[in-house]
Structure 1
């Protein structure tokens, strides 16, 4: 079974094209958001939320935010969006297909 998920990508580049600092900003932001998880999921020590994940895209540090976070915790979504706006970071949106795999 598959379904489409909308994602917000916060790029580690300012609107002027400069790299955002500090260099570990994506991991820090994802760490702050690690408590927001789907109901029933268990987070271990030092794990990121599946809704807010640091990645490197085309050599640029980014944070990919699952838009389901908006429904789960609107204030967390606002925090993420305000972070991008306040720091004048480039953002984009994408839609990805998620495959649900059931374990036997």
Structure 2
């Protein structure tokens, strides 16, 4: 269950029994499918970049997809899609906030 106040949801590439999820590019594929869902809607060429609401990343050596809560409010079917993807593949999900990288000195 996802709380109502979570800012971001991390879908982790680890199943509940601790196995690494395959294929290895699953995060990029999921984020690619979600690329059309973005502020202002899809536009020509939007499929060439990730949506700011669904970003693949690596956290502590684990592939993840960070899903912003705004997606839930503006595109509820897309939000349901990513949650069902995680559930159907038995992936671990965590609520958190992605922090920006520290400035380089």
Instruction: Name the TM-score, length of structure 1 as normaliser.
Output: 0.82
Structure 1 residues 45 and 35 mapped into 2: Cα distance closer, same or farther (>3 Å)? closer
1:39 to partner: Cα distance: 1.7
Alignment RMSD (CA, Å)? 2.1
Aligned-pair CA distance for 1:95: 3.2
SS of 2:39 mapped into structure 1 = coil
More strand by share: 1
SS in 1 for 2:36: coil
Counterpart in the other structure of 2:12 = 11
Relative CO higher for 1 or 2, CA cutoff 8 Å, sep ≥ 6? 1
Aligned 1:1-104 pairs, distance under 5 A? 6-39=7-40, 44=46, 46-95=48-97
TM superposition score normalised by structure 2: 0.81
Question: Which of structure 1's runs of 4+ aligned residues deviate more than 4 A?
Answer: 40-45
Structure 2 unaligned blocks of 5 or more: 1-5, 101-105
CA distance in 2, matches of 1:59, 1:77: 25
- Gaps (5+ residues) in structure 1? 99-104
